[in-house]
Amino acid sequence: MGIVHERMAEDLRLKNYRPATRTEYLRCARVFVEHFGRSPARLSAADIRKFLLYLTDEKKSSAATVKMHIAAIRILYAVTLKQPQKVAALVWPKVPHPLPDILSAEEVERLFAAVESPKHRVILMTAYGAGLRIGEACRLMTIDLDSDRMVIHVRDGKRGRDRYVMLSPVLLAALRAYWLQFRPEEPTLFPGDQPGTCIRPDTVRTALRVAVHRAGIKKRVTPHSLRHAFATHLLEAGTDIRTIQVLLGHSSIRSTARYTQVSTRHIAATPSPLDRMRVPGGAVTP
C-alpha cells in the first residue's frame, strides 16, 4: 500500500486506537488491496462489495472476521482516502454470540495446579481473582496494587477506561511470593523478555493451553474463560449484578446480564411452571 499504508497508520494513531487494533486494521486493509492488486483509490464500491462476498462465500470467513475487514475498509476510505461515499452503504454482518463454556471452581483449581511456571500461574490467578482481561493482567505495574485499600487500579482498560477491582488476600499472598522469587524490575509487575516491556499475552495463552491439556479439561478454555468464570462464580455466590458490571468494566448492564444465562445455580434454582401443575403420576407443588 506504500504511502496509503503510512497515512492510514497515522490516522489510526491520531484516532488513538490501541496498537493491537491498529495492527489488525492495517493487516485487513493490506489483504483487501492485495486481493485486487491495484491502488485502493481506483477501486469502486462494487469492488469492495465483491471482496466482502469473496470473504463470505469463497473464504468462508466468520462474521467476526468479515466485520473486522469492514471496519478497516471504512477507515481506509472514509478517513485516509477521503472517499466516504464508497463505504456509505456497507452493512455490518450479524455476529453470533454463543454462550461461553464456564469452568467450575474445581476446574479452576486444577488448572492453576497444572501451570508449570510460577510466573504464568500468578498471572492467570490475577486474571481470575480480579476478573481482568489477559492484556490488563500483563500490563499491571507495581503501583497498581494498593494493599492498604486492598484494590487493584486497572488502567487504560477497554475503550481507555480505568476502574478499581478487589485485591484478594489469597492473590496478594501469591503476588508477594512471586515478588520474592523473581524480584521483577519496577515498575513492571510481569516483565517481558526485553527490558522495560511487559510479558506478551500470547506467551500466557500458550502456557494456558499446555495447562488445560495437563489438567484434562475438555472445555474450550482461553484466558478470557477465567474472566467469565470470575463473573459467573460471583453471581452464583450472590454478588449483585451491578457490582459485577463495575468490576468487569462493562459500559452496559446487558453485557453483564449474559452471565445469568450461564449460571447453572440460578437456572437450576428457578422453578419451572410445570412444578405448579397437577400431572398424571405426579404431585402438586404447594
Those residues of the chain that have pLDDT short of 70 are 264-270, 272-275, 277, 279-286
| Residue partners of 130: CB distance under 8 A and separation at least 6 | 137, 152, 154, 165, 166, 167, 168, 171, 230, 247
Do residues 110 and 200 share a domain? yes
Q: What is the pTM of this model?
A: 0.76
At 251 the pLDDT is 81
Residue 82 lies in a domain: yes
- How many domains does the chain divide into? 2
At 87 the pLDDT is 97
In angstroms, rounded to a whole number, what is the distance separating the alpha carbons of residues 2 and 257?
45
CATH number of domain containing 80: 1.10.150.130
Residue 260 lies in a domain: yes
Dihedral angle, C-alpha 160, 164, 169, 174, nearest 10 °: 10
Q: For 51-104, write each residue's pLDDT tens digit.
A: 999 999 999 999 999 999 999 999 999 999 999 999 999 999 998 888 889 999
CATH number of domain containing 223: 1.10.443.10
Residue 93 lies in a domain: no
In angstroms, rounded to a whole number, what is the distance separating the alpha carbons of residues 6 and 233?
46
At 88 the pLDDT is 96
Do residues 199 and 118 share a domain? yes
DSSP 8-state code for residue 141: B
In angstroms, rounded to a whole number, what is the distance separating the alpha carbons of residues 175 and 170?
9
Q: Which domain holds residue 174?
A: 105-268
Residue 286 lies in a domain: no
Do residues 191 and 257 share a domain? yes
Amino acid at the residue 244: I
Catalytic machinery residues? 133, 158, 224, 227, 250, 259
At 270 the pLDDT is 66
Do residues 200 and 256 share a domain? yes
At 272 the pLDDT is 66
At 98 the pLDDT is 82
Where residue 160 falls (left for φ over 0; alpha for ψ -120 to 50; beta otherwise) is left
